[in-house]
Amino acid sequence: MALNMTRPTRRSDSSAFQFKRRTPTALLSAKKGERIALRLPGDAGRELIVSTRVGEVIKVSLRTREPQLARLRCAAINAQLERLASDAPKGAQRLTHREVMALAGEWHRYAMTRWGDDPGPASVWEYLSDGFGSILDDDGEALETHLGSFADDLLTQRNLSIDRDTRGRLLIALRDTLHESYAVLAKRSKGDYSADSLGPKLPEWRAPEQRGILTISDLFAQWKAEAERLDKSKSTIDNFGRVIRQFIAFLGHDDAGRVTREDVVRYKDKRLIEDKRSPKTVRDADLVALKTVFGWGVVNRPNALKSNPAAGVTLKLPKKLKRVGYSDGAALKILKAALAYKQAAREAPKTAAAKRWCLWLCAFTGARVGEIAQLRRSDVREVDGVWTIRITPEAGRVKDREERDIPLHPQLIELGFIEYVRSIPSGYLFLSARDKTDCAGRLQSIVNRLGEFARSIVREDRVTALHGWRHRFITLARRHGMDLELRRKITGHAGDGVDEEDYGDVEGLYREICKLPHCPIKAAQ
pLDDT 10s digits, 249-279 = 888 888 888 899 999 999 999 999 999 998 8
On the 0-12 / 13-18 / 19+ scale of CB atoms within 10 A, 427 is middle
pLDDT digits (tens, 9 = 90+) for 439-487: 777 888 888 898 888 888 887 655 576 777 888 899 899 999 998 888 8
Nearest to 354 by CA among 340, 366, 372, 368: 372
Q: What is the CA radius of gyration of the chain?
A: 36
Find which of 49-53, 78-82, 241-245, 366-370 is predicted with most confidence, using mean pLDDT: 241-245
Question: Could you give the CA distance from residue 352 to residue 356 in angstroms, rounded to a whole number?
Answer: 6
Alpha helices in 45-202 (DSSP H): 67-87, 97-115, 122-133, 140-157, 164-189
Contacts by 344-351 with C-beta closer than 8 Å and gap 24+? 348/432, 350/428, 350/429, 350/430, 350/431, 350/432, 351/430, 351/446, 351/449
**Domains of the chain with bracketed CATH:** 9-90 (no CATH), 97-201 (no CATH), 216-300 (1.10.150.130), 328-513 (1.10.443.10)
**Could you please report the per-residue DSSP string of 333-345?**
HHHHHHHT--PPT
- 93-125 burial, b if ≥16 CB within 10 A, otherwise e? bbbeeebbbbbbbbbbbebbeebeeebeebeeb
Q: Could you tell me which residue, 43 or 492, shows the higher pLDDT?
A: 492
pLDDT digits (tens, 9 = 90+) for 95-126: 888 889 999 999 899 889 989 999 999 999 99
C-alpha torsion sign, points 106, 111, 112, 114: positive
Q: Helix axis angle, 349-365 relative to 328-339, nearest 10°?
A: 150
- 126-156 burial, b if ≥16 CB within 10 A, otherwise e? bebbeebeebeeeeeeebeebbbebbbbbbb
Longest dimension (CA), the chain: 116
Which region among 56-60, 140-144, 338-342 has the lowest average model confidence (pLDDT)?
Answer: 140-144
The three-class DSSP label of residue 294 is: helix
pLDDT digits (tens, 9 = 90+) for 27-80: 877 777 777 778 788 765 566 778 788 889 998 888 888 888 888 888 888 888
pTM: 0.48
